[in-house]
Structure formats: C-alpha cells, structure tokens
Amino acid sequence: MTNNYELYKVFYWAAKTGSLTQAAKALYITQPSVSHAIKQLEDSFGLTLFYRTSKGVSLTQEGAVLYSYIEKSQILISVAEEKMTALKNLGSGELRIGGSDSLFKHYLLPYLEDYHRKYPGIKLHLNHGTTPETISFLKEGRIDVGVVRMPIVDDQLEVMRGIQLQDCFVAGERYAELKGVELSMELLLHYPIILFSRNSRVRMAITELFQSYGYEIKPEIEVGSVDLLIEFARKGLGISYVTREFVAKELEAGSLFEIQLDVKLPPSQVGFMIMRNMPLSSAASKFIELVK
C-alpha cells in the first residue's frame, strides 16, 4: 500500500468540500488528477471511499472512518505550518543570551529594548555568568548568543566584534586630592583598591598589566557586581577599577572622577559569540543584525 501524503491530502479536500472540482481548485490541480488520486487510494485499500452523486461525492462508511483520522492529521499539519511561519516572521520563539550583568545592563539594555519593541512575540532569556561560564552555556546549547570581553580563542566558536570599552580607576570625594594628579602604579597601590571578585576578563587583564610592570595588585575589597564597584567608590571605601562607559553618568555628575595613571590602560573589545557551523534561529539572527 502506498503511503503518499499527497493522496491523503486529495482525499481530505474531496471529503471536506464534497466536490472533486472544489478539491482540484483548493489544491491547484486538475479534476482528473483528483479522480486519479482517489482511485489510487481506493485501490491501495481495496475499499470504496466515496459515493459519486449528481451533486459531487459523499463518504462511504469506510471513507468516513479514514476521514476521522486524516482530518486530525491535516489540522496538526496546518498548525505546524502556522507555527513555522510565525517563527520565520518572529511572531513567536525565544532568544537566549549569555553574558555578564554589567554588559547586559550598561551595554545591551538599549538593544534588548529595541529588539523587544520590534519582536514582542519573542521571549527573552538572559543567562548571567563570567566569560568561561558563558562559553560553557553556549557549548551546552543553553544559549544562542554569548556576549563577552575579547579575546576569545576557540575553534568551536565564531566571534564578531562589538564596541570597544575603556577601563579605568575611579574615586569619590574622599580622595579629592587626587583629582588632576598623575599617579604611578606604585603610588596607586598605596590606596585601597576595589576590584571585581569573580574570574572576569577585566580582573585578569588589570592583574596581568600590573604584573608586566613588576607589581602585584591586591584588592582591599572585592565585590560581585559593577554596581557595587561604583557605589563603594562613591562612598569613599576605596578606588574602583571599572569600565569608563559604565560610569559615564557618575563622571559627568561629579560623584566620581577618573584617576590619572602614568601608564596607558589598554582598551577592551566586546564580542558576540555563536557556535561555528551551527545554524542560528531566526530570533538570534535578527538580534545579531541589530547589534551589528
């Protein structure tokens, strides 16, 4: 017996419309093609599925049994097709992004707002983590896109450049005497330093920079978020190492000022990671287009 989906589709429309002519119109085929398909199906079962009448066709008892099953499958197929169209047109689905709290809040938030405005049917899932954790999320299939500090060297990943950021040391009014003063690394280390506690790219970079000049930077205070780095510096608990772009408002308002060093602090690059040679969902593709 043949298992041709097209035959069942012809049977469905002939039964639904009660007319071989209407079935042919619905399927954009000729009436003889409809008749031939029904005959093939009847021959394969060895059963008569339709009575031919002057008004068209009507189902036999056996045909009605078959129709009760075929109708359900056609409804499911139609729903599936609608779902696929919705996914293609971004009417539904989800976007899963991994990255640090600070990058989400201070960099990605405007993009996420814009994306949500354009595609309100897409559910957003944000997975917070350090760079190593975000790479693991991506490889485990828990996220579609990772947003991290570069460089990232991994053959399994494709990384696209985002914006460039500049890290710096900042302090509040308690250290006002340091405004406009150029400090050496050695002098800076005489003051309490506040650093991010987790194994972040920023923490690793500043540690390596000081080591390259023969110094060891030991924080007096370690905190778990950029917001706390900013707040502790404002309160005068020490000098925080933060991303300049993330404290733009505080620097402009004067609640924080930037410490001038006699060495240049290297900029850092944000990158968007995806799995190499893996197809992106429509939702993820549109997000990449938006941020690029």
DSSP code, position 34: H
Mapped onto helix, strand or coil, the DSSP state of residue 169 is strand
228-259 pLDDT, tens digit each = 999 999 999 999 999 999 999 999 999 999 99
The whole-number pLDDT of residue 282 equals: 84
- Return residue ranges of the chain for CATH 3.40.190.290: 92-291
Nearest-CA neighbor of 171 among 160, 183, 163?
183
Q: Which fold has domain 92-291?
A: D-Maltodextrin-Binding Protein; domain 2 (3.40.190)
Pairing of strands 267-275, 145-149: antiparallel
Asked if 86 and 120 touch (Cβ cutoff 8 Å), the reply is no
- Return residue ranges of the chain for CATH 1.10.10.10: 5-86
5-59 pLDDT, tens digit each = 889 999 999 999 999 999 999 999 999 999 999 999 999 999 999 999 888 999 9
Note the pTM of the prediction, 2 decimals. Answer: 0.65
How far is Cα 105 from Cα 69, in angstroms, rounded to an integer? Answer: 52
Asked if 176 and 254 touch (Cβ cutoff 8 Å), the reply is no
Q: Which fold has domain 5-86?
A: Arc Repressor Mutant, subunit A (1.10.10)
Average pLDDT over residues 85-101: 80
